[in-house]
Structure formats: C-alpha cells, structure tokens
C-alpha cells in the first residue's frame, strides 16, 4: 500500500522505509496537517509488507523545529476542537504509534531538532544524529514548559542533571553532545549519516522479524517492573514468541549451530 501526502514523504527502499517530515521551508515544524498525515502513515506502515525497518527523518536541512508555532498554536487558539484534534494526532504518532510500531524504528536526526520533536526521537528504538545537528529544549524561551510528554521523555531518557540543565537553560547542544548524554546512540558527520543509518537498518532487516519485535517489546516494557514481574513477563513473552515465530528461529538456529555447524550466533542472524 502507498499514499500521497503534502507534508510528509514515504519512500521505500528494498525493505527499508524512509518516513520524512517534508516542510523543509519551515524546518519541518509540525502543523496540524502534518500530524494527521504522520498518524495516518504510521497506522498503515505498521502492517505494510514492504516495510521491515522504518527510518524517521526530515527533508532538507532540519529534522524538525518542533510544533509549528503559527499553525499548531496561534491558529488553533480560538478553535478548541481543531486544537484537540491536532493534539490527539500529535500525541498519537509521536509516541504511541512509534513505540508500538511492530518493526524496528530508527530516528535519523539530520539537523535542528527542537521541543516536541524530542518525543519522536525518544520513541524510536534507535537514534543516530549528525555531529552538526542542533538539539534544543527551547520551551523555556517561549514561556512554556516542555509539554506533551517531552518532560517525561527527557526524565526517562537522560540523567536528572542533564534533563534539568537543558530544560531549564534552553541551551542548544550538538549531535556529539546528544550522543554523550545518550539522547541518541551515536553521531557521525552529516555527510556520512544517511549511509550509516542505512547500514544499521540493513543489519536489523536481516534478523528474524518476530524475534526483533518481541525483543523491543521486552526491553521497552520491563522498565518500571520489579525483578519478579520482569522475570514472569519475560518467561511468558518467550513462550509467546516461540508460538508466533513462523521462521522457527530458535530451532533453526540450534540445528544450524549444533548439527550442521554452519552458523555461529556471535556473528549474526541464523540463515532463514
């Protein structure tokens, strides 16, 4: 399936789907219409057979300059129904749809990333940035708090010191710093970012998709559980995986390692 949008672009490349915010002239600031389109795209991409890995990024020089201050805030301030609809779509795609996406997700932060864009970065399983990218929790400069769930995102993702420092000062930081404070996994020069991101996507693409899905759900959901809850949850999850795994990953892997001696798990995925 495919669809045509005005504010985003979906591009498929042999199993990897690039989902890009596409308002480069406004640094990909998020308008209500962009939110509706992202919410729609992530809904069908979740079940799209051509999509094995999803990369979220921005067209042009920016990743995303946060909420569109004119279209999202000013133009809906006297239209509570439209504001509520936009808010619902905004929260839906930036968090729920990405977190629950059944395939691996990578945020590729290619340039400015501000405010509400942090939520989408935190929602992705993996995040890479350009060394030159600029991150900023600029809300304090607008007289607002990091809302939506941005404060919750940074409290969960960053150390208390870094979350407080960047939220309270509003000071921008670059991709290298984002990697140092673990907002992203690592950064590379902008010139290498696309190729590096695709390399990681191809590694994920080769793995058993059922195992990947259950792995990301396991790691995501054990946060906040007690040891006993996690032990119980993971045991049930493993059982469920063996039930749904149409590729029989565990049996196949063991047979390739123990019987055929054709595969060493330390070096990669089993051969389907």
Residues near ligand ACO (CB under 6 A): 26-27, 29, 62, 65-70, 112, 114-116, 138-139, 142
Taking CA atoms, 256 is separated from 70, 247, 249, in Å, by: 58, 13, 10
Taking the alpha carbons of 9, 184, 15, 42 in that order, is the dihedral positive or negative? Answer: negative
Q: At 221, which helix (H) or strand (E)?
A: helix 209-222
The count of other CB atoms within 10 Å of the CB of residue 263 is 18
Shortest reach from residue 129's CB to ligand ACO, in Å: 15
Query: Whose Cβ is closer to ligand ACO: residue 112's or residue 253's?
Result: 112
How far does the chain reach from its first CA to its final CA, in angstroms? 26
Query: Whose Cβ is closer to ligand ACO: residue 44's or residue 142's?
Result: 142
Query: Whose Cβ is closer to ligand ACO: residue 66's or residue 253's?
Result: 66
Shortest reach from residue 9's CB to ligand ACO, in Å: 18
Query: Whose Cβ is closer to ligand ACO: residue 45's or residue 62's?
Result: 62
Shortest reach from residue 23's CB to ligand ACO, in Å: 8
Shortest reach from residue 115's CB to ligand ACO, in Å: 3
Q: By C-alpha distance, which of 99, 88, 74, 77 is closest to 36?
A: 88
Alpha-carbon span 33 to 90, nearest angstrom: 10
Shortest reach from residue 72's CB to ligand ACO, in Å: 8
Q: Which residues contact 145 (CB under 8 A, 6 or more apart)?
A: 139, 151, 167
Q: By C-alpha distance, which of 50, 53, 163, 156 is closest to 95?
A: 156
Shortest reach from residue 26's CB to ligand ACO, in Å: 4
Q: By C-alpha distance, which of 49, 40, 39, 37 is closest to 12?
A: 49
Strands lying side by side in the sheet with 113-114: 113-114, 134-136, 173-174
Query: Whose Cβ is closer to ligand ACO: residue 115's or residue 175's?
Result: 115
Alpha-carbon span 79 to 76, nearest angstrom: 5
């Amino acid at each position: 399936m495919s669809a045509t949008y005005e504010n985003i672009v979906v591009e498929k490349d042999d199993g990897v789907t690039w989902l890009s915010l596409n308002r480069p002239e406004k640094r990909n600031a998020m308008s209500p219409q962009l939110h509706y389109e992202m919410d729609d795209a992530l809904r069908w991409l979740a079940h799209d057979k051509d999509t094995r890995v999803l990369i979220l990024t921005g067209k042009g020089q920016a990743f995303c300059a946060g909420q569109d201050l004119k279209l999202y805030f000013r133009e809906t301030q006297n239209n509570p129904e439209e504001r509520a609809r936009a808010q619902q779509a905004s929260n839906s795609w930036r968090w729920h749809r990405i977190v629950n996406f059944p395939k691996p997700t990578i945020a590729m932060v290619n340039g400015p990333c501000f405010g509400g864009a942090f939520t989408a970065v935190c929602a992705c399983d993996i995040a890479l940035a350009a060394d030159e990218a600029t991150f900023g929790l600029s809300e304090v400069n607008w007289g607002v708090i990091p809302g939506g769930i941005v404060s919750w995102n940074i409290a969960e993702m960053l150390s208390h010191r870094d979350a407080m420092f960047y939220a309270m000062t509003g000071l921008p930081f670059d991709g290298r710093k984002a990697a140092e404070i673990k907002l992203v996994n690592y950064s590379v020069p902008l010139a290498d970012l696309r190729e590096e991101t695709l390399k990681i996507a191809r590694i994920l693409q080769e793995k058993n998709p059922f195992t990947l899905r259950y792995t990301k759900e396991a790691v995501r959901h054990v946060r906040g559980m007690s040891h006993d809850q996690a032990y119980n949850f993971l045991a049930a999850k493993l059982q469920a995986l063996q039930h749904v795994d149409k590729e029989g990953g565990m049996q196949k892997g063991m047979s390739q390692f123990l019987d055929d001696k054709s595969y060493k798990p330390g070096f990669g995925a089993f051969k389907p």
